[in-house]
Structure 1
Amino acid sequence: MQTVVAIYTGQGLADPLKKVFQELLPYIRLVNIIDDSLIGDVVRAGHIPDVVTRHLVQYYRHAEELGADVILNTCSSVGDVADEAVGMLGIPIVRIDEWMAAKAVASYTRIGVLATLPSTLEPTLRLVGRKANEAGREVQLVNGLAEGAFDALISGKPEEHDRLLLETAMRVASEADVLVLAQGSMARMEKALEEATGKPVLSSPRFGVEHVKAILEAAKDAKSSS
C-alpha cells in the first residue's frame, strides 16, 4: 500500500482534503501531521520564521520515516520551504498549489489571486509568476487581498469573512480572466465566487491530490516495468 503524508499548519483543511483523497486515492494510506502553531507564527512574523522552517523540515523527515511515498505540503504560506526541502529527501514533496498555478498560466493571461493573508498572497504570486516563466507565458497578476477576512474568520465571524472575500473577488474579477484561491481552506467558496463573478475560479485541494496521484501512478508504473 502506498503512503501519503499530508502536512498541515492549521486545522481547517484536513477534513475537506481527506474527502478528496477518499474520492481520488481511496486505496492509499493517508497520514496527517498537523501543527497549528505554525501558521500563527507565520502570520505574526509576516514571513516564514526560521523556527517554522526547522519544524517543517523535521516533519518532512518524520514523514519519510513513516514510509511516505509522497509528502503533500498543504499550506501555501510555507510553499517556499517545501521547494527548498526537495533536495534534502529521497521522496517527492508536492506543493498543494503547484498544479493550480500551472493550470492558471496555461489557460489565462490576467490572473487574479485571492487571499486573506499577505503571508499567503505573496508566495502564491511568486509561484504563479514562476510557473509563467517556466511555461514561457506572459501573464498579468492582480492582487486580491481581502483585508480583514482572516481576522473575521478566527474571531468566529465566517459570514463576515465570506462577505469580505466576495467583495474582493468582485473587484478583482473586473481586471482578471480567472480567480485563483491562494488558500486551500477557501475552496468551499469556489462555486459561490464563480456564480457571483461570472469568472472561472481555481482552488488548490483537488489539483494537489491529482498531482500526488500522478506521482504515485508513475512510480507504480515504473516499478511494474522494471
Structure 2
Amino acid sequence: MATTPIRIGLIHATMNSVQPIHAAFREQAPHVTLLNFMDEGLIFELNETGVITPAMIRRLIALIERAEESGVDGILLTCSSFSPYVTQIKKLFSTPVVSADTSMLEYSVEVAERIGVIATVGTAGPITTQQLKEIAALRGKSIEVQTVVITDAFFALQNGDVATHDGRIHQKIEELSESCDVILLAQMSMARALRTINKEMKKPVLTSPEISIRTILNLLA
C-alpha cells in the first residue's frame, strides 16, 4: 500500500547544518521530501554580537512562515542557538515545529548524570547547558554539566578547513570522556566530526540529526 508523501521544511542559520541533516534523512527516512529555508546572516550576527535580538527572532519566524506557506507537513529547526524560543514560536503556526536538539537533551538527562557539552558557536554552549538544567529540574533530577566552547572550530569549518574542525572536536571528546557519562555535540554542523574520528570512543557521543528525525516523524504519525 502506498504511503502518503511527507514534506518537511528545514530551517537553517548556517550552510554547515545542511549536509548532516540531509545525510541523516537519506539514511533513516529516504521517502521524506526536504525543503530548505536559509538565513545565514543569523549565525554571522549571532557570532559577532553574542546576543539574540527580537529582530533575529522575527527573521526566524519569517523563515518558518515561508516553510508553512510551501505546504510542508512539519518544520524542523536545525540551529540549536534558537531552541529556547521554539516553545513560544510554534504556537504561532498550525504546522508542527520541532527544535532539532530538544529530544537529544531530554534523552541525555534521562540516561546520564554527568553530561559533557561541546559547542563551536559561542551562544550554543550556555544555551544548551541552561536547557539541560531546566529539563533536569522539571524531572527532579540532579545533573552535572561540563561545557566547552571552541569557536575556532566553527571558523575553521566556515573556511573549509574540515580537518581542524573535526580534530578540535575529537580532542574535546577525548578530554570530556574522562569525567562525563555522555557527551553532546551542541550543533548539528558538528555531527560530521564523528565520521572522521579514528579511535573507539570511551563514552557515548550524541548528535541531534538522528534523534530529531525520529521525533518529528513520530509527531507527524
Q: What TM-score do the two structures reach when normalised by structure 1?
A: 0.88
TM-aligned CA distance change 1:199 to 1:193, over 3 Å: farther
SS in 2 for 1:118: coil
TM-aligned CA distance change 1:201 to 1:213, over 3 Å: same
CA–CA distance in 2 between the matches of 1:192 and 1:178?
19
After superposition, residues 54-93 of structure 1 pair within 5 angstroms as 54-93=58-97
TM-aligned CA distance change 1:190 to 1:61, over 3 Å: same
Displacement of 1:171: 2.3
Displacement of 1:200: 0.7
Identical columns (%): 29
Q: CA RMSD in A?
A: 1.9
Q: Structure 1 residue runs of 4+, over 6 Å off? A: none
Q: Quick one: which amino acid aligns to residue 156 of structure 2?
A: A
TM-aligned CA distance change 1:194 to 1:49, over 3 Å: farther
Displacement of 1:191: 5.5
Q: Quick one: which amino acid aligns to residue 65 of structure 1?
A: E
Displacement of 1:192: 5.5
8 A contact 1:10–1:39 mirrored in 2 = yes
CA–CA distance in 1 between the matches of 2:41 and 2:163?
25
After superposition, residues 35-184 of structure 1 pair within 5 angstroms as 35-184=39-188
8 A contact 1:144–1:169 mirrored in 2 = no
Deviates more, 1:85-94 or 1:177-186: 85-94
Displacement of 1:147: 4.7
- Normalized per residue, the structure richer in helix is 1
Structure 2 portions without partners, runs of 5+: none
Displacement of 1:67: 1.6
Q: Quick one: which amino acid aligns to residue 62 of structure 2?
A: Q
SS in 2 for 1:7: strand
8 A contact 1:144–1:172 mirrored in 2 = no
CA–CA distance in 2 between the matches of 1:69 and 1:134?
30
Q: Quick one: which amino acid aligns to residue 11 of structure 2?
A: I
Structure 1 portions without partners, runs of 5+: 218-226
